[in-house]
Chains A and B, each alone.
Chain A
Amino acid sequence: MRYDLTTGPIDPREMEAAVAHPAAGAICTFSGTVRDNSRGQSVTHLDYEAYAEMAVPQMRKIGDEIKQRWPGARVAMAHRTGHLEIGDVSVIVCVSAPHREEAFAACKWGIDTLKESVPIWKKEHASDGTFWIEGHDAKPTLG
């Protein structure tokens, strides 16, 4: 198991290596990448901010729950913070399991849960201004 919060690039292949093992017949990797558009506007770059002391334990909780729900699964997660450019990988959830059905299901559950419960925020720099993205809302920044 591996849970990273980092300002540097994250490498999907490295996360896959962390979950690979001889009894796993499937590795499913979700990579979230920075889009050049949002809300119909063009986006120039993003900044991610994390509550690091809470974010890593929250990721570990998700990984532990995946292992309970999908026996035999192994999990690695990473999220970047700081300045990200278009196309950069912002988040990775990687799950290995005996078969692909569990690997896909656990990986989807993992990224969906991470997005709801890991305290990391996205500041979007777009053509119409700078916004904090909070769920479905985009709220103007002050700074």
Chain B
Amino acid sequence: MAVAIAVRVRLFARLREQAGFEAERIEVAQGSTLADVYATLRRTHPALEPDRNAVRGALNQEFSDWDAIVAQGDEVAFIPPVSGGR
């Protein structure tokens, strides 16, 4: 890893249960995307949902695309689809 930055990752609901944590500080390379952060997490927590289509990313409390670049100190959340209902 060239230059590392730290982000705070938060997980909710089923993803939180799969990974076994609610919030964790993780290090990724500078220039990493949300997709890179999720891939890093899946390496350390293999039980985490493998299908990224079943996950949404949020960056600093806003829904965000997988190719969004994260910065030092950002809050990154991975969340399952919300409750829905009709």
Contact = CB atoms under 8 A, between A and B. Distances in A.
Interface stretch (B24-32, B36-44, B76-84): B76-84
B12 A134 contact: no
A137 B51 CA distance: 14
Residue among B14, B17, B82 facing the most chain A CB atoms (10 A cut-off):
B82
A53 B62 CA distance: 10
B18 A54 contact: no
Interface in A88-143: 115-123, 132-137, 139, 141-143
B14 A141 contact: yes
Interface string B51-70: 00010001001110000000
Contacts of B58: 51, 54, 119
A57 B75 CA distance: 15
Interface band, chain A: 20 to 34
B79 A132 contact: no
Contacts of B10: 51
A115 to B, nearest CB: 6
A111 B2 CA distance: 46
B17 A133 contact: no
B14 A139 contact: yes
B13 interface: yes
Interface centre among A32, A51, A118, A139 (most CB of B within 10 A): A51
Given A49-B12, A141-B17, A142-B18, A119 B79 contact: yes
A120 B83 CA distance: 7
A133 B54 CA distance: 12
A40 to B, nearest CB: 16
A54 B64 CA distance: 12
Interface of B: 10, 12-14, 17-18, 54, 58, 61-63, 77, 79-85
Interface of A: 32, 48-49, 51, 53-54, 57, 115-123, 132-137, 139, 141-143
27 contacts: A32-B85, A49-B12, A51-B61, A53-B61, A54-B58, A54-B62, A115-B82, A115-B84, A116-B82, A117-B63, A117-B82, A119-B58, A119-B82, A120-B82, A121-B12, A121-B13, A121-B80, A122-B83, A123-B13, A133-B84, A134-B14, A134-B54, A134-B82, A134-B84, A135-B82, A135-B84, A139-B14
